Amino acid sequence: MEDHRFLRAERAGREYAKDEEEMEEKMKKRFLSAILTGALLLSVLAGCGSDDGQGEAAPSGTPAEAGTAGAGGGLRPETRDKITVILFGEESPRMQELMENEFQQKFIDEINTEVELMYLPWTENGAGGKVDLMIASGQKFDACIVDPRWAASSYSKGYLQDLSDVIDTYLPDWHENVDPTAFDAYRYDGGVYAIPIGNKPTGGVYSTVCVRQDIMDAIGMDKISTLEDLTEYAKKAKEQYGLYATYELANAEYIIRGTSDRNLIPLCTGILIDQDTKELVNFAESPEFEAAVRLYNDWYAQGLIPKDILTNTVTLPFQANMTSFMRGTCGTTLIENEPGLQSVVPEAKTAEYYIAPEKPIYKKSYENTAFQVPVHSTKADRVALFVNLLQKDTEMANLFAYGVEGTDYELIDGKVSKINTEELFYEWMIYNVKISSPTTAYTDEFMEIYKNWDDKALPALSFGFNIDFSNVQTQKAQIETAWEEFANPMLAGLKDYDSSIEELKAELDQAGWDEYMAEIQRQFDEHLANK
């Protein structure tokens, strides 16, 4: 899932944790979370509904192991219950049909649990959005998709349960199919507050550029390994095919990687981490910011940057055949974007290249999505069993991502050929490189590279680091506003560096930059001390 989706609603929650009364309420909620988690350990089926006729209700304290084995083995509670899971977007007609029939029957057969999906608009996604308000008001649900930044915010408000013991007990298959470090993104004060879902390589995320390989072949280029190569490719693609270079801002990580002698990783708005010195870097005052702005100024002057870069409403311009490249996501761009592009340009092919491939490759924890369990739910065990089932084996992973074999997809030499193109459970969310079948769009050579993408990747210093902004919510909001108003036009090539940089620095200072930077530095120092 892309980071910007989880930031859209963040400003809506700034009223939380601003005074002593709120902090007191936060501690009460954390205490309640601990009580509920303890209750879960004493009664596996706490909060269960009526018996389904397959057995009597389990007495208090009966462990889940006393249940029957599902069709594929594993834990199956003896009594039936129901969980409500929040996803974002819109439920497709085929997804609704499957949830009423094949999917639902599989949930009942395997984990004796009915699953109800509640869809919310993507605009409600993120910290401070509707989900946080639902938790604060006591509105009942049992799980919601979340990313580490959002989870960190919700944890700071006391909204989430510690799932450590639940994870140890109810994820037998998922433990076999996930990188254990994925859980580090959701660790706070010794607990784990969400269950990661999916398993995709994250090394070098956004350090690659995804290009039209069919265009590269046509213009006679065999690689892109520098910003000069990228500029040459973008110019020829514009001249010969009428495509703009990109609709993305120049703070994309591949630009930073290609304009710096340092190994820098973006952390949050305006702040980078130097992986060698372990120091935080003020991006606006860095030579990398200047180089990125001047590069995009040059591209804009050459007509490679669209004039509406900041107001464009097309969500996927690369897929729409409007741009010649986009920043890559460590191989997943191909899986997630090539099919969409080919629906517009059937002959299109994509490829990813590292800008500055000689530099180290880092993996960062914030790329993992997960399911959180709100503090008021008594069904964390069922949620864990639900996640475990989604990732249990290839058969299950394919079922929930692609549908019913023979109806929604066919397997051709171990690869998925889709018959149904409607969205089911989000493929990008639950794709697991260890067990999921790839589609026929991807060659064996690519999948071999993709599966081993992280082999040489190093954990970034930010791996497992989650910022708690509760002490600088006001400064954060003001800095994000200033960045959007003054930095983004520079990073889009619309304003030149020399005439704009001092105004940007002044606005950030006025927004409370010193307090913001100092608080994040303090937390980062604590993070390093505990590594």
Each residue's pLDDT tens digit, 277-325? 999 999 999 999 999 999 999 999 999 999 999 999 888 899 999 999 9
Residue 52 has pLDDT above 50, yes or no: no
Q: What is the pLDDT of residue 152?
A: 79
Residue 22 has pLDDT above 50, yes or no: no
Q: What is the pLDDT of residue 368?
A: 66
Q: Distance between the two ends of the chain, CA-based, in angstroms? A: 27
Query: What pLDDT, in 10s, does the model give residues 409-447?
Result: 999 999 999 999 888 998 888 888 889 998 887 778 778
Alpha-carbon span 355 to 264, nearest angstrom: 13
Q: What is the pLDDT of residue 29?
A: 41
Alpha-carbon span 204 to 200, nearest angstrom: 12
Q: What is the pLDDT of residue 50?
A: 34
DSSP state of 427: H
Q: What is the pLDDT of residue 331?
A: 67
**DSSP run (H or E) holding 527:** helix 513-529
Residue 108 has pLDDT above 70, yes or no: yes
Query: What pLDDT, in 10s, does the model give residues 329-344?
Result: 776 677 678 878 988 9
Annotate 37-54 with b (16+ C-beta within 10 A) or e (fewer).
Answer: beebeebbbbbbeeeeee
Q: What is the pLDDT of residue 159?
A: 94
Residue 483 has pLDDT above 80, yes or no: yes
> Which percentage of the chain shows pLDDT scores above 70?
84
Give the pLDDT band of residue 450 (cuts 50, 70, 90).
Answer: confident
Q: What is the pLDDT of residue 531?
A: 67
Span of 99-103, 174-178, 220-224 with lowest mean pLDDT: 174-178
Q: What is the pLDDT of residue 74?
A: 58
Q: Which amino acid is at 22?
A: E
Alpha-carbon span 88 to 92, nearest angstrom: 12
Q: What is the pLDDT of residue 430?
A: 87
Q: What is the pLDDT of residue 12?
A: 33
Alpha-carbon span 379 to 57, nearest angstrom: 15
Q: Higher model confidence: residue 38 or residue 231?
A: 231
Average pLDDT estimate for 405-409? 95
Please calculate the CA angle 307-311-313 and round it to the nearest 5 degrees. 115
DSSP state of 58: P
Q: What is the pTM of this model?
A: 0.68
Average pLDDT, the chain: 83
Q: Which residues are bridge partners to 371 per DSSP?
A: 145, 195
Q: What is the pLDDT of residue 522?
A: 95
Span of 352-366, 391-405, 506-520 with lowest mean pLDDT: 352-366
Q: Higher model confidence: residue 519 or residue 199?
A: 519
Alpha-helix runs per DSSP H in 93-187? 93-100, 102-111, 130-137, 148-156, 164-170
Q: Higher model confidence: residue 241 or residue 429?
A: 241
Average pLDDT estimate for 97-118? 97
Query: What pLDDT, in 10s, does the model give residues 54-64?
Result: 333 332 233 34
Q: What is the pLDDT of residue 271?
A: 97
Q: Which residues are bridge partners to 374 per DSSP?
A: 160
Residue 196 has pLDDT above 70, yes or no: yes
C-alpha distances out from residue 419 to 178, 423, 429, Å? 29, 12, 20
Q: Residue 227 in contact with residue 295, Cβ under 8 Å?
A: yes
Average pLDDT estimate for 260-264? 95
Residue-wise DSSP of 191-234: EE--EEE-B---BTTTSEEEEEHHHHHHHT-----SHHHHHHHH
Give the pLDDT band of residue 70 (cuts 50, 70, 90).
Answer: very low
> Which percentage of the chain shows pLDDT scores above 90?
57
Alpha-carbon span 296 to 454, nearest angstrom: 30
Q: What is the pLDDT of residue 335?
A: 65
Q: Higher model confidence: residue 37 or residue 508?
A: 508
Residues 471-477: contacts with CB under 8 Å, at least 24 apart:
471/519, 472/512, 472/515, 472/516, 472/519, 472/520, 473/14, 473/16, 473/17, 473/18, 474/14, 474/512, 475/511, 475/512, 475/513, 475/515, 475/516, 476/269, 476/516, 477/11, 477/14
Average pLDDT estimate for 4-33? 36
Q: Higher model confidence: residue 484 or residue 38?
A: 484
The residues, any chain, with a CB within 8 Å of residue 222's CB and separated by 6 or more, are 216
Positive or negative torsion for Cα 101, 103, 109, 113? negative
Average pLDDT estimate for 141-147? 93
Q: What is the pLDDT of residue 369?
A: 82
Q: Residue 322 in contact with residue 247, Cβ under 8 Å?
A: yes
Q: Which amino acid is at 112?
A: N
Q: Higher model confidence: residue 421 or residue 240?
A: 240
Give the pLDDT band of residue 2 (cuts 50, 70, 90).
Answer: very low
Residue 477 has pLDDT above 90, yes or no: yes
Alpha-carbon span 480 to 4, nearest angstrom: 13
